Amino acid sequence: MKKIRLFWLLLALFITQIIVVKYLLTYLNINNTSSYHYFYTSFSKFQRQLFGWTTFSVGDLFYTLLIVFFIYIFFKWVKNIKKNSLLTAMLIIGIITVMQFCFYLFWGFNYSRAPLAKFLKLDLKTLNANDLILLNTQLIAKANFLQSKLAKADSLKVSAPYNRQQMLYQSAISYNQLAQQWPEFSYKNQSIKWSLYSVPLSYMGYSGYYNPFSGEAQVNSQIVAPFIPFTACHEMAHQLGFAAEQEANFLSYLACINSQDDFIKYSGYLVALSYSLSNLSFVDRIEFKKLVKTIHPGILKNMQENDAFWSAHQNPSTKVFAAFYDHFLKANKQTDGIKSYYGIVKLIIAYHQTYPLKKS
């Protein structure tokens, strides 16, 4: 009888927590003076200091142990299905409740952070063909210049000029260079790791992720080299408390293009161009085709290599994980779901209307 009461108590606590979290996400408006912002800033720095020095992903190790534990519980439950079913259910509900609580406390409430556009005083407008054509023209000029400089020939794809670990280091430095203009984006106590689950992540369709339980930025080590710095900077934006995917993408772009390293810069312009071209292709196919002809073949080879990588890892589970993440984002105030990544284009256009791109 006591076990049954405890089960219903745990279930009620779990449901109540979901309702409270939903309410807080709806009505919280976190800014740079909010108590949660101060808490998160201090706590995330502590996490990076605690785990940043390790050469392996502590967060991935935690997930591994959790998976092993759940497998053990499952087989134990099957073996004693009648005897331990209630205890097993209580244990699972208890673990999920604690993990959900920690997720939102450690990071998740950043989904209620005030829009980055408001902080930067950007005027976001509906995308139109002229703005997209101008942006693509500018990004192509930047990418062409850097591709020629790095590859030494317009027809050659850009390869990494140093090892992959150095890419992560240079990516982190780029935030400190961005902080010279915007001190709020200063990044200290580096904690960027290659994910132990890089191969599964590739088949799931993920180039990286942020682990709120360890505060580590996780990067898929399998992805195409020129896309690594942008991915690393994207996950670092999450570390800084920018949960919205379009904002993390935008901050990654700013960090990359403010880098003094040409390869990091190229990564920023390359990914931004990919998003911008995709937007233009839906608005004006004629101009899209014209602009593609002005892109150096080497850049197109980098894009094709990236497309080929993801196509090679496409499988039925990819769509399942995409649908799951789409639902997750929508449940956390990102109404566009997985399409929110493309919001980077609107932010870039608004930013460069205030801070114009300089000619190469």
- Tell me the residue type at 197: Y
Query: DSSP string of 86-132?
Result: HHHHHHHHHHHHHHHHHHHHHTGGGGGBPPHHHHHT-------HHHH
pLDDT exceeds 70 at position 70? yes
Rounded CA separation 273/92 (Å): 45
What's the pLDDT tens digit per position in 335-349?
999 999 999 999 999
Quick one: pLDDT band at residue 273, thresholds 50, 70, 90? very high
Q: What is the pLDDT of residue 147?
A: 98
Q: What is the pLDDT of residue 282?
A: 93
Mean pLDDT of 269-298: 97
Query: DSSP string of 156-180?
Result: SPP--SS-HHHHHHHHHHHHHHHTT
Mean pLDDT of 217-246: 98
pTM as predicted: 0.94
Q: What is the pLDDT of residue 168?
A: 95
Mean pLDDT of 76-94: 73
Quick one: pLDDT band at residue 84, thresholds 50, 70, 90? low
Sheet holding 192-194, edge to edge: 192-194, 216-219, 208-211
Domains of the chain: which residue ranges?
A: 2-112, 116-354
3-state helix, strand, coil in the chain (%, to 5): 70, 5, 25
**Which two three-digit tokens encode residue 124?**
């976001």
DSSP conformational letter for 224: -
pLDDT > 70 in the chain, percent: 97
Mean pLDDT of 116-128: 90
- Give the chain's mean pLDDT: 92
